[in-house]
Structure 1
Amino acid sequence: MSHADYLFINMCKDILENGVSTEGEKVRPKWEDGTSAYTIKRFGVVNRYDLSKEFPALTLRKTAIKSCTDEMLWIWQKKSNNINELNSHIWDSWADENGSIGKAYGYQLGVKHRYKEGLMDQVDRVIYDLKNNPYSRRIMTNIYVHEDLHEMNLYPCAYSVTFNTTKEAGSDKLKLNAVLHQRSQDVLAANNWNVCQYAVLLHMLAQVCDMQVGELLHVIADAHIYDRHIPIIKELISRPVYEAPSFWLNPEIKNFYDFTVEDVRLDHYITGPQVKNIPIAV
């Protein structure tokens, strides 16, 4: 099986067997019918993916690589907070009549800050440091900005990325690694989606900064399975698993802002059937 399948199955089993239920507690999320959406949760889940060995797409079911890349580029490349610039409907529930989700996600990455080298937003700062000061221990982004939380239609879930480079003996290139920090995650709906997004991001940044891709460490403070997702999860993790797909990234692209969803592809991607009509708590 792929390592992503192995981690996902074990994480779900751990949550189901050792997690804590929020049933009966005061919780914010609601189902579409207005009832409270309770979860089984585990605190402090950490998963490590070595992207130099395989791409971490689940084979239990298909992860739509172009759609998740599109959302990642909407945030990191377009630095947008408007769903009219996104080619999916996953943010519709949090958008206002103009399509805005408030001062959240891409908006925060696009805010320019003053550094001694000049004005840069957070994405350009990361690329600048990776190219000019790759051994820095200060290469990171953070979109959980407290003074703007009241103007965000949803507080950021995956809120910070810390980048770090390593170099193996005998190699002429640095390896680019990252830690993705997530305060909360709906494991069924979003886990592999987020993992694949940031795996693609790491591949893209490594390529444009003339590095090799390394490890992605995913740290989740509150990893949860919603009550109505439990039977779906149990069926999902009982399925057959397959070898990890191979990942293709257009080698001609050398500027991060030139990537499109057509520059990524998963080859030899064999999966179980898609899980459809997942209820989403909002």
Structure 2
Amino acid sequence: MQQYLQLCQHILNNGHKKEDRTGTGTISVFGYQMRFNLQEGFPLVTTKRLAFRTLIASELLWFLKGDTNVRTLIAERNYIWNEWAFEKWVKSSEYMGPDMTNFGLRAAQDEAFANVLEEQMQLFNERMLADEAFAAKYGDLGPVYGKQWRSWPAANGETIDQIANVIEQINKNPDSRRLIVTAWNPAEVDEMALPPCHTFFQFYVADGKLSCQLYQRSADVFLGVPFNIASYALLTHLIANECGLEVGEFVHTLGDAHIYSNHIEQVKEQLTREPRALPTLHITEGKSIFDMTVADIKVEGYDPHPSIKAPIAV
């Protein structure tokens, strides 16, 4: 995973200081590309531990099922999208708990508040699972990735299943230059809890191998990008498995690639660590991508350095 570490170092060396919507501040570069040969191992960052099956695999399967409610993820102990649903809850007139204004930034700076936030988040998770009406109201994130991938709203009132369509086209016309899925829907961006960061991806078939290129408009390099790399490498494997192909490359093209100001020390710590051998991915062969569960996906030989914690900018 030297490509990822080189990106981190490139931003530290060449990044521009920029403000952002969260108020945290970043150092940022514009336009960067990494290439990963998926034949050489599964690109799961080894300089810190990532929860592959709990977070990465379950989130991708959530997208592929067209789901947009965090209740499904919480049931699988995946809390990666919780901050955005929790923010909707604490900003509502029904919330009567402690003041949660700017909870992400405050938790990073105030240990006592971080404990209060953890307690409130736990209560939120419990209620999401126990109260279906509450989950429907506060757990839905709007028309985010899963909705756009599986139910893009067409002009005639029907919906378009982009994932099913691209699989059909790979099978029927693998040389097509239109093997594209997009999550960026300008008509619905304002209804989303978070506009798509990984905006669209394109497949390419050559020599019996499937490659994928992702364009990511906004890339949180310390927290988000390692997950994005693994998620789209996994997606490439799943689509290749569905279409009877081998895997080729995952090409990751970044727009605004940034390190948040409160992640800089964590990035520097990660850069002191030596990358280890990449793990191997195993998925259930012959099973439809639409029927996959987390139990069908596993990595072997993953021996990373310990995890490094950092706050999420919401």
Question: How high is the TM-score relative to the length of structure 2?
Answer: 0.79
Supply the distance in 1 between the matched residues of 2:194 and 2:282 (Cα, whole angstroms). Answer: 33
1:113–1:119 Cα contact (<8 Å) kept: yes
1:90 aligns with 2:123: no
Query: Which position in structure 2 is the counterpart of 1:264?
Result: 297
Supply the distance in 1 between the matched residues of 2:254 and 2:69 (Cα, whole angstroms). Answer: 26
Supply the distance in 1 between the matched residues of 2:203 and 2:242 (Cα, whole angstroms). Answer: 15
Aligned-pair distance for 1:74? 0.6
Supply the distance in 2 between the matched residues of 1:134 and 1:178 (Cα, whole angstroms). Answer: 13
Aligned-pair distance for 1:12? 0.6
Aligned-pair distance for 1:17? 0.6
Counterpart of 2:184, as a letter, is Y
Determine helix, strand or coil for the equivalent of 1:189.
coil
Query: Which position in structure 1 is the counterpart of 2:225?
Result: 191
Supply the distance in 1 between the matched residues of 2:212 and 2:292 (Cα, whole angstroms). Answer: 20
Paired residue total: 258
Query: Which position in structure 1 is the counterpart of 2:247?
Result: 213
Matches within 5 A, 1:76-225: 77-86=64-73, 87=76, 88-95=78-85, 96-97=88-89, 98=137, 99-111=139-151, 120-167=160-207, 174-225=208-259
1:221-244 residue CA offsets vs partner (Å, 9 max, x unmatched): 011001110011001110132111
Counterpart of 2:272, as a letter, is S
1:60-114 residue CA offsets vs partner (Å, 9 max, x unmatched): 1122211201101111x21111111223112122224521111121111122577
Which one of the candidate residues 66, 69, 81 is aligned to 2:57? 69
Q: Which has the higher helix share?
A: 2
1:166–1:175 Cα contact (<8 Å) kept: yes
Supply the distance in 1 between the matched residues of 2:59 and 2:197 (Cα, whole angstroms). Answer: 14
1:249 aligns with 2:283: yes
Percent identity between the two aligned chains: 34
Determine helix, strand or coil for the equivalent of 2:258.
strand
Question: How high is the TM-score relative to the length of structure 1?
Answer: 0.87
Supply the distance in 2 between the matched residues of 1:248 and 1:235 (Cα, whole angstroms). Answer: 31
Supply the distance in 1 between the matched residues of 2:173 and 2:52 (Cα, whole angstroms). Answer: 31
5+ long unaligned stretches in structure 2? 90-136
Aligned-pair distance for 1:119? 7.0
Which one of the candidate residues 2, 10, 19 is aligned to 2:6? 10
Query: Which position in structure 1 is the counterpart of 2:122?
Result: none
Supply the distance in 1 between the matched residues of 2:278 and 2:296 (Cα, whole angstroms). Answer: 19
1:34-56 residue CA offsets vs partner (Å, 9 max, x unmatched): xx201011110100011012111
Supply the distance in 2 between the matched residues of 1:109 and 1:242 (Cα, whole angstroms). Answer: 34
Supply the distance in 2 between the matched residues of 1:191 and 1:206 (Cα, whole angstroms). Answer: 22
2:151–2:159 Cα contact (<8 Å) kept: no
Supply the distance in 2 between the matched residues of 1:119 and 1:279 (Cα, whole angstroms). Answer: 37
1:19–1:41 Cα contact (<8 Å) kept: yes
Query: Which position in structure 2 is the counterpart of 1:32?
Result: none
Counterpart of 2:177, as a letter, is R
1:42 aligns with 2:29: yes
Change in Cα spacing, 1:178 to 1:113, as seen in structure 2 (3 Å) is same
Query: Which position in structure 1 is the counterpart of 2:265?
Result: 231
| CA-atom RMSD in angstroms | 1.7
Counterpart of 1:83, as a letter, is V
Query: Which position in structure 1 is the counterpart of 2:44?
Result: 57
Counterpart of 2:61, as a letter, is L
Supply the distance in 2 between the matched residues of 1:37 and 1:176 (Cα, whole angstroms). Answer: 39
